[in-house]
Amino acid sequence: MTKTDLIKLLATETNQSQASVGDVVSALLRVVMETVAAGQPVLIPGFGTFKATAHAARQGKNPATGTKLEIPATTVPKFTAGATFKNLVREGTELED
């Protein structure tokens, strides 16, 4: 599902215009990204947690040449699914309203 597909589905589900839903979805994504980039987690109970995770510097290897190289430390975004989301995926069912 693309962002456009998501917006269309949400607009239908909520009887709102696609433009209005698109603005809300874009704002939600922007707020989540900016909050995580600032080092704060975003917790949505039942759905999951978005947070920044630090990766230490390490040695790697160029697979083509076998040459060792240094991979610098970095911080990356991480999503951990909540229990409700995990169970829904495991069981393959739909949420009840």
Q: Do 46 and 80 belong to one domain?
A: yes
Structure tokens at 44: 């949505």
Q: Is the pLDDT of residue 94 over 90?
A: no
* C-beta atoms surrounding 18 within 10 Å: 14
* pLDDT score recorded for residue 97: 62
Residues 10 and 30 in one domain: yes
Residue where the block lists tokens 């922007």: 30
The structure's pTM equals 0.82
Same domain, 83 and 52: yes
So what's the pLDDT on residue 95?
75
Round to the nearest angstrom and report the end-to-end CA distance of the chain: 21
Number of domains forming the structure of the chain = 2
Residue 80 belongs to a domain with what CATH number?
Answer: 4.10.520.10
Sign, CA torsion 17/25/49/92: positive
Strand-strand pairing, 74-81 and 48-55: antiparallel
Q: Convert the pLDDT of each residue in 19-78 to its tens digit.
A: 999 999 999 999 999 999 999 999 999 999 999 999 999 999 999 999 999 999 999 999
Range of the domain at 18: 1-38
46 and 33 within one domain: no
Q: Is there a single domain that holds both residue 50 and residue 80? A: yes
Residues 26, 56, single domain; the answer is no
